[in-house]
Amino acid sequence: MSSKTDTLLSLLDGQPVIPVLKIDNVADAVPLARALAKGGLRAIEITLRTADALEAIRRVIGEVEDAIVGAGTILDPRHFEQAAKAGSKFIVSPGVTRELLVAASDSPVPLLPGAITPGEIMTARDAGLDFLKFFPAEQAGGAAFLKALASPFAGIRFCPTGGVSAGNAASYLALPNVICVGGSWVAPDDMVKAGDWAGIEALAREATGLRKA
Render the chain in DSSP notation, one character per residue: --HHHHHHHHHHTT-SEEEEE--SSGGGHHHHHHHHHHTT--EEEEETTSTTHHHHHHHHHHH-TT-EEEEE---SHHHHHHHHHTT-SEEEESS--HHHHHHHHT-SS-EEEB--SHHHHHHHHHTT--EEEETTTTTTTHHHHHHHHTTTTTT-EEEEBSS--TTTHHHHHTSTTB--EEESTTS-HHHHHHT-HHHHHHHHHHHHT----
Which residues are within 8 A (CB) of 160 and not within 5 positions of it... i.e. 6 or more apart?
A: 133, 134, 135, 137, 143, 146, 172, 178, 181, 182
When pLDDT is averaged across residues 118-143 and rounded to a whole number, the result is: 96
Residue-level pLDDT at 213:
56
* Residue 162 in this model has a pLDDT that exceeds 80: yes
**Which of these is catalytic: 4, 45, 89, 201?**
45
The pLDDT of 112-127, averaged and rounded, is 96
Q: Which of 4, 22, 133, 201 is catalytic?
A: 133
Q: How large is the average pLDDT for residues 130-154? A: 97
CA-nearest of 185, 154, 189 to 169 is 185
What is the per-residue pLDDT for 3? 83
Q: Above 60 in pLDDT, residue 1?
A: no
pLDDT of residue 212: 63
> What pLDDT, on a 0 to 100 scale, did the predictor assign at position 2?
72
Could you report the per-residue pLDDT of 10-66, keeping only the tens digit for each? 999 999 999 999 999 999 999 999 999 999 999 999 999 999 999 999 999 999 999
Using the predicted structure, report yes or no on whether residue 118 has a pLDDT greater than 70.
Answer: yes
Question: What's the rounded Cα separation, in Å, for the pair 36 and 113?
Answer: 24
Of 208, 209, 131, 145, the residue nearest 175 (C-alpha):
145
Annotated catalytic residue 193: no
Question: For residue 136, is the peptide bond before it cis, meaning its omega torsion is within 30 degrees of 0?
Answer: yes
CA distances from 121 to 8, 100, 115, 124, 212 (A): 18, 15, 5, 5, 23
Q: Does the annotation mark 81 as catalytic?
A: no
pLDDT for position 50? 96
Q: Look at 213 and 182; give whichever has higher pLDDT.
A: 182
Q: What is the pLDDT of residue 159?
A: 98
Residue 211 has a pLDDT of: 79
Instruction: Tell whether the model's pLDDT for residue 111 goes beyond 70.
Output: yes
User: Sheet containing 68-72: which strands, arranged edge to edge?
Assistant: 111-113, 90-93, 68-72, 43-47, 17-21, 181-183
Provide CATH code, domain 3-208: 3.20.20.70
